[in-house]
């Protein structure tokens, strides 16, 4: 598994701002734009850049805590 696979990334629509917001809360606060496909593409690129920066500087990546759903017991 690649490091990026551990981090949940998603888009949501903001009625207030009338834009799509891309999020990966474990690494960045978010990005926004009008085209959902482009926003997600940029989100993945930015998250990968953040991961690369951590690795290049020898810093440990933060733990992935955000999950798309709770496990049902």
- 73, part of any domain: no
Write down the mean pLDDT value for the chain.
92
Rounded to whole angstroms, the Cα distance separating 39 from 59 reads 27
What pTM, to 2 d.p., does this model score?
0.88
- 68, part of any domain: no
Q: Measure the N-to-C terminal CA separation of the chain; round to a whole number of Å.
A: 26
- How many domains is the chain built from? 1
Average pLDDT over residues 49-73: 85
Is 59's pLDDT higher than 60? Answer: yes
Is 71's pLDDT higher than 60? Answer: no
Q: What is the pLDDT of residues 6-31, one digit of tens each?
A: 999 999 999 999 999 999 999 999 99
Q: CB atoms < 10 A from the CB of 23, how many?
A: 19
- 72, part of any domain: no
On the 0-12 / 13-18 / 19+ scale of CB atoms within 10 A, 22 is buried
């Amino acid at each position: 598994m690649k490091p990026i696979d551990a981090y949940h990334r998603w888009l949501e629509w903001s009625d207030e701002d009338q834009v799509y917001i891309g999020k990966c809360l474990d690494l960045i606060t978010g990005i926004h734009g009008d085209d959902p496909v482009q926003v997600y593409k940029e989100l993945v690129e930015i998250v990968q850049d953040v991961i690369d920066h951590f690795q290049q500087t020898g810093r440990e990546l933060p733990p992935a805590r955000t999950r798309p759903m709770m496990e049902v017991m």
